[in-house]
Structure 1
Amino acid sequence: MSDKKWMPRWFYQLASPRWCYQITGKLMPGFMLAAVLLILGGVIWGLVFAPSDYQQGNSFRIIYLHVPSAFLAQSIYITMAIAGAIGLIWKMKVADMVAKSCAPIGASMAILALVTGAIWGKPTWGAWWVWDARLTSMLILLFLYFGVMALNSAIENESTAAQATAVLAIVGLVNIPIIKYSVDWWNTLHQPATFTLTEKPAMPVEMWLPLLIMVLGFYCFFAVALMLRLRNEIIQRERRAGWVRELLTDK
């Protein structure tokens, strides 16, 4: 049985840069509105109306930036690796563009997670940085993002660069479960996971609900940022195509 008999139609439509450019243009406004409303609502609720923590006081409120950025840094890496694998297996140019577009966004989220974690750690642990298993594995994640971006910049041939970065991204996936389970596998200063799918949150609902809203808002923000970078990448790579020339002429 050939791939085309069991793969959904949209999967092959995504292989078309023109179709991908058009569909992202239609999706962006909705995700942009959702990102603004969710992040604004989560920030106001979390910083103004959520009660202070009985142990950490108001310093815990940085959780509303730290946790969403940490979640997103890991999710973006997984997205990048999957896109890279699709590019390797099915030779889809758009998948390679998605993987390349993910790296700077993921690196930004990893930096935000590390910086907010350091700010939170100072009043909590008495130090800006400790070589804790969770912190160290998050730092490795940032270096993996830097490695992907460096490879993309160092290799001139786009196809070769996509293959090399895809292999690096796939190999680096081993770090994701280390980040997630580091607090369970080793004795660490970092607190256990704030959210789990199988257990009730330890925080009261008025504290974790704005956090959930912030997480959703960050994912919507990622969707917007990815689509913007992807559309720019499509225009750059397909600049000689007739439809791109027509598009630029109309503008």
Structure 2
Amino acid sequence: MISAFMLHDRFFVNADDALAFYGFARTNDCEGVTIPSQRAYVHYYASLMNDVRLQERVRDKSLIYTLRSVRLVTLPLAFSRDKCELCLRIRRLLPQEASWTSKAPTITEIRTEELTLSPEDVMGPGPPPRSVYDYIDSLPMAEEILNSDGEKVGTRSVVPVADFSGPCTLPLSGDLRVELIQRRGVHEDRLFHFWCNAAMLTSPKLVVRKWQLDGTSHSSTPQSPSASAGVDHVSSPSYHSLKVQVQRVLSRNM
């Protein structure tokens, strides 16, 4: 990727600068690299170029993790517990391709105060340029309540969450693809996915925001409420967040 090459050849030392220059020089709309996981891996490369310890972690073939839990904050708008179920699928490419699929999650509602994130929790690339996410604070996760004119009239005090906490038998190493699947009988729909690299997980907790997910709707305008409704619950622009808990394993057993 050209943005990563510019970091490698020291045209830039900052991932955002490299991505911005690529967008300006190579695309008419100046948006450049728009796929969230590609932007994330450019940030990975910038971190590797500036941190010898991270380079050693990537070369350490014995470094593996085990998944402890995943929490999905807010549920897909089309999801119905009576008609379908959610599951999580993780695909590992190396040293050999393998995958693991979770059981259905536990779905509850929790107060928004319990979802407060610290700045240390919010890592990775920020919102793409000129996106709807540019104007929001990266920390709130609450859903807004809008009236029929699109005006904010309040914020929900509770948020639905799906907790995937069953045992994961897949050792996590190298590049990983994490998918959220919606099942209706034998039919499956992939709602979104994202890529990450296990060696780059320097914290036991990984928080992934909507703009860091591939396959979701990243429209330039917020979702509009129905004109016939008096008050609608409309997900905030931060709709969909994943909190992934992992634990390092000291020995490899595959």
TM-score range, shorter chain: under 0.3
- TM (norm. structure 2) is 0.23
Greater relative contact order structure (CA < 8 Å, 6+ sep): 1
Larger Rg: 1
Higher helix share: 1
Higher strand share: 2
